[in-house]
A and B are shown apart, each in its own frame.
Chain A
Amino acid sequence: GAGVSQTPSNKVTEKGKYVELRCDPISGHTALYWYRQSLGQGPEFLIYFQGTGAADDSGLPNDRFFAVRPEGSVSTLKIQRTERGDSAVYLCASSLHTGTRTGNTGELFFGEGSRLTVL
């Protein structure tokens, strides 16, 4: 597709359940990011992939959160034993360059997000 695609757009689940959120980045973008946006806040960094590997997962809040990108394209964010505090919009973004000084365009292309509600 032309842009970053995220599915589902909305997910309602019960506390304790397992959730998967999918991101399909722009074709050819090697870098992929997950951010979380809570109500009234700006996006917060969760994890960054360069290719298939997670280059920086320092933003993942705890070990209930995990993300994969097995073929270097589509990524899945996985949340185990969901809690009410996990309710937020999960944003995926991709970029063409890795962010080196010469290659950093500085532009992230964001999807519309997956709104997760944990009851």
Chain B
Amino acid sequence: AQSVTQPDIHITVSEGASLELRCNYSYGATPYLFWYVQSPGQGLQLLLKYFSGDTLVQGIKGFEAEFKRSQSSFNLRKPSVHWSDAAEYFCAVGAPGGYNKLIFGAGTRLAVHP
């Protein structure tokens, strides 16, 4: 069965510092991979996605993620965090060729210190 693990429940970084949020997935083949962000009072928003091709994908708001098949990982990174990045981040996996029945991880809550 598909599953997603986000090992870090909470992460705190200083504004301007770099960020890496971890995501590991379990799936029999190469899945579709996503990162969503959930800010207070707002719906989940897609940051970026990986379907195939280049394993380093760029997203909105300066985020990027790298798919590593050998590690079953899809970690999210940002070189310099802004205070407005404080939110909850969800990694999700979907079945290729299927509809958007996404399996989400439990999320990582990011706090940003000034």
Contact = CB atoms under 8 A, between A and B. Distances in A.
B43 A113 contact: yes
B99 A99 contact: yes
A47 B96 CA distance: 18
Binding site of B, secondary structure by majority: helix, strand, loop or mixed?
A: loop
A107 B32 CA distance: 11
Interface in A56-106: 56, 91, 93, 95, 98-101, 104, 106
Interface string A19-54: 000000000000101000000111111001010000
Chain B residues touching A, range: 20 to 34
Given A4-B43, A43-B44, A91-B43, A108 B100 contact: yes
Nearest to B34: A106
Contact of B51 (A31, A48, A106, A112): A106
Contacts of A113: 43
A45 B46 contact: no
Contacts, number: 76
Nearest to A55: B99
Contacts of B42: 112
Contacts of A99: 94, 97-100
Chain A interface, DSSP helix/strand/loop, else mixed: loop
B106 interface: yes
B67 interface: no
Nearest to B45: A110
A106 B100 contact: yes
A50 B99 CA distance: 10
Contacts of A4: 43
Contacts of A91: 43-44
Contacts of A104: 32, 51, 97-100
Q: Quick one: which of A55, A106, A112, A113 has the most chain B CB within 10 A?
A: A106
Closest 8 CB pairs of A and B: A99-B99, A42-B104, A110-B43, A110-B44, A101-B97, A106-B49, A107-B46, A112-B43
Interface of B: 4, 9, 32, 34, 36, 41-46, 49, 51, 90, 92, 94, 96-107
15 contacts: A41-B107, A42-B107, A43-B102, A43-B104, A55-B99, A56-B101, A98-B99, A99-B99, A104-B51, A104-B100, A106-B94, A106-B100, A110-B45, A112-B41, A112-B43
